[in-house]
Copies of this chain bind each other. A is one copy, B any other.
Amino acid sequence: MLKEIFILCLTIIHEEFVSCVPASYQTARDAILNAERQQRLGSQIQLNSAELALDKFLLQNKQTTIENARVGVSDFPPSINFFQSKKWIDDSPVFKIMEKMPKGCALHVHDSSITSLEWVISNVTYRANCYICFNETTGTPSLHFFNKPPANKGCEWKLISTARSLFGNDKAFDLQLFRNLSIIVDNPDDTYVTVNDVWKKFNKYFGLINGVFDYAPVFKDYFHQALVEFYQDNVQCVEVRATLPQVYELDGTVHDQDWVVQAYQNISKEFAAQNPNFFGTKIIYSGIRFNPVATILNNVKDAIRLMKEYPDFVVGFDLVGQEGPGKTLLYYIDDLLYPSQQQPPVYLPYFFHGGETDWKDTRVDENLIDAILLNTSRVGHGFALNKHPYIKQVMSERGIAVEVNPISNQVLKLVADIRNHPAALLMTGKFPVVISSDDPAVWNAKPLSHDFYMAFMALAGEDEGIRILKQLAMNSITYSAMTSQEKKRALASWNEQWVKFINDWNTYNSNSHHVSRSDHTVKIIG
């Protein structure tokens, strides 16, 4: 039908030189707009009147922000580095709704970058036995817990409490620590010119945090605190890419992988028991994509074993680390084919990072091809996905979701303006997209709300309201690694929370008459 109307109008103008009357022009135009709208992710969702009220409010705010920026009255936060835009976002009514909204699962986050630095600094670094040293050449700090620190040439261990007193100003000392941990800077465009520049600093974060993260009491508390913070941010489940490090005790004991997995599982179970609206946690065991082939083979074997030992908790395998300069999936192909080549074959679900790169048609973005051939259950980032139309089609047909991390891709320099993020295109075609946050602690983002803000404001179109938000939340359950039974329960629970969220908003607004309040139009810069 659409095609007929459309061609009719074009033919009239062009080939037969007969008038395309304005009426049929408008009909054709509406038909195209509707056809495109119907293809959008979330377009089929029906809203009730309570949802429509919030939809209207969200759209008003979004459109005001966009239209003001379009004509130059104000800046558009998703176009500007998150380090600079966060302050403004935090004040916006849209963000406040993102915080309150039940967002479902965070499906792409990394073990040691999910708990706020504020907690790490104010809690972890104030514990007894916490030591710090500063490299005498570079000034770079390291952290570690000891009963009695060993000699450490070039970087002498000192109790952090001593270092803090010597510094003379606790607040300033902690701010310095924050700057050493976080990748946040005042002028990100100048400080980090390329993706490699910012990854250098990003890798320093892991070097620094892991000294304390790997300390058994901190390890447990860090994970528990992550769950607290995610849940407070209205996230109901988390799937963690976990490297399962060697966790140490003060007495020199080093725990094995089973201890680590059991710690995760116990904390997770306990937290879920205390918070019945929380669906739980899954672990995706992750090797490091710079390690030798033999190491990754051992990781794969461990993953198989752990999946058997901890069914429905350890759910699969991935490789982590900067994809651009890192080793490719093809490099590890024998390791990764290992499970399927056993007699009988073993099914090890993969959750591969793939296409987290701007390098078109290089060995790096070919990772997407190998991820799919290796039957990945989801793709992490998939930033390069649109450049691979065949892979994109296969993923769409097979329901292989892409885990989109908008802020991570911006601050780690894949794309400056989130409006140019490739997921904006994926969402025009009902592609299975989920929104996650990768390493929110490192850039001081909320567990998931800031990324949802970006998805809503900049990946979705100006006229896309609450439908896309609802769809993204539901997608995060649909494409999670939960069992069908778990998904069913989770979806029912999420739905209750969604209804409450909608009702709470309507109640609040009918009382306070805040419905028409709009985003401020603030110039962020200049």
- Which residues of A are in contact with B by a Cβ distance under 8 Å? 6, 9-10, 12-14, 17-22, 25, 28-29, 32-33, 35-36, 39, 66-67, 69-72, 75-76, 79-80, 187, 189-190, 193-194, 196-197, 324-325, 330, 333-334, 337, 340-341, 344-347, 358-362, 364, 366, 369-370, 372-375, 386-391, 394, 414-417, 419-420, 424-425, 428-429, 458, 460-464, 524-526
Taking CB atoms, residues of chain B closer than 8 Å to A10 are 372-373, 375
The 7 closest A-B pairs by CB, nearest first: A361-B461, A72-B196, A416-B416, A358-B419, A189-B189, A17-B345, A360-B461
Do A32 and B391 touch across chains, with their CB atoms under 8 A apart? yes
Do B463 and A526 touch across chains, with their CB atoms under 8 A apart? no
Taking CB atoms, residues of chain B closer than 8 Å to A524 are 193
| Bound-state Cα–Cα, A478 to B71, Å | 37
CB distance from A414 to the nearest CB of B (A): 8
Taking CB atoms, residues of chain B closer than 8 Å to A330 are 29
| Bound-state Cα–Cα, A341 to B14, Å | 12
A-B contact pairs, 17 of them (CB 8 A): A10-B373, A10-B375, A13-B375, A17-B346, A20-B337, A22-B333, A25-B337, A28-B373, A29-B373, A32-B391, A66-B362, A71-B324, A79-B358, A386-B386, A389-B429, A415-B417, A415-B420
Contact of A194 among B13, B76, B347, B415 (CB under 8 A): B76
Contact of A462 among B359, B375, B414 (CB under 8 A): B359
CB distance from A19 to the nearest CB of B (A): 5
Q: A39-B390, A389-B428 are in contact. List 11 more A-B contacts (CB 8 A).
A: A13-B375, A22-B334, A25-B333, A29-B369, A29-B373, A33-B369, A36-B389, A67-B362, A71-B325, A80-B193, A360-B419
CB distance from A33 to the nearest CB of B (A): 7
Do A525 and B359 touch across chains, with their CB atoms under 8 A apart? no
Do A325 and B70 touch across chains, with their CB atoms under 8 A apart? yes
Contact of A33 among B80, B341, B345, B366 (CB under 8 A): B366
CB distance from A293 to the nearest CB of B (A): 14
Q: A79-B358, A358-B420, A462-B361 are in contact. Are A341 and B36 (CB under 8 A)?
A: no
Taking CB atoms, residues of chain B closer than 8 Å to A346 are 17
Copies in the complex: 2
| Bound-state Cα–Cα, A13 to B371, Å | 13
Contact of A417 among B18, B39, B196, B358 (CB under 8 A): B358
Residue of B nearest to A324 (CB): B70
CB distance from A176 to the nearest CB of B (A): 23
Most buried by B among A29, A32, A325: A32
Do B333 and A387 touch across chains, with their CB atoms under 8 A apart? no
Do A374 and B462 touch across chains, with their CB atoms under 8 A apart? no
Contact of A193 among B29, B75, B345, B366 (CB under 8 A): B75
Residue of B nearest to A30 (CB): B369
Residue of B nearest to A67 (CB): B362
| Bound-state Cα–Cα, A69 to B358, Å | 11
Do B29 and A370 touch across chains, with their CB atoms under 8 A apart? yes
Most buried by B among A21, A370, A375, A394: A375
Contact of A359 among B70, B390, B391, B416 (CB under 8 A): B70
CB distance from A290 to the nearest CB of B (A): 12
